[in-house]
Structure 1
């Protein structure tokens, strides 16, 4: 398994669509929770949600994208810019220090 960082930017004017899809999104997250290292909304000025960020485990980038494309937020066309990049957790409290 590899680790992938996924950064998604919301389309303008999708706050209601995000709200409408939220319960289905949470259900999806619960189904794939074992593949998620961390996930949550990106928050802009005024506390407005402006996107989502996930760090997931997947065998390859294609598998990471499939996981994302099954998300109701993706299906509701909330995100405009999606970046998926292999990520190597190398340092920090969450990994217990450093890898070197």
Structure 2
């Protein structure tokens, strides 16, 4: 299995859209819990939401994207852009070396 980082940037009206889709998004993540190594909001210096970071474990990028494609925050327009990169940890709890 590989790890993929999804760097999701919020678009216009994201505060309102987050509130509208929050419950559905939490339910979505709970149903796909086995795929998420970590997930949470990104905030600016004022503490305002500006996006989300998802770290997803999957066989390949296509499978990782399939986990996110129907996420209510994506479908509902919260995120205006998503960058996906493979993540290969070399230090820390997610490595064999610790």
Q: TM-score, normalised by structure 2?
A: 0.91
Q: TM-score, normalised by structure 1?
A: 0.89
CA–CA distance in 1 between the matches of 2:44 and 2:12?
Answer: 13
The aligned residue for residue 16 of structure 1 is: 16
Cα displacement (A) at 1:13? 2.2
The aligned residue for residue 7 of structure 1 is: 7
Aligned-pair RMSD on alpha carbons?
1.6
Q: Which runs of 5+ in 2 are unaligned?
A: none
Q: Which runs of 5+ in 1 are unaligned?
A: none
- Normalized per residue, the structure richer in helix is 1
Q: Matched residue pairs, number?
A: 98
The aligned residue for residue 63 of structure 1 is: 63
C-alpha offsets along residues 59-86 of structure 1, whole Å, 9 cap, x if unaligned?
1111111111111001101111201111
Cα displacement (A) at 1:89? 1.7
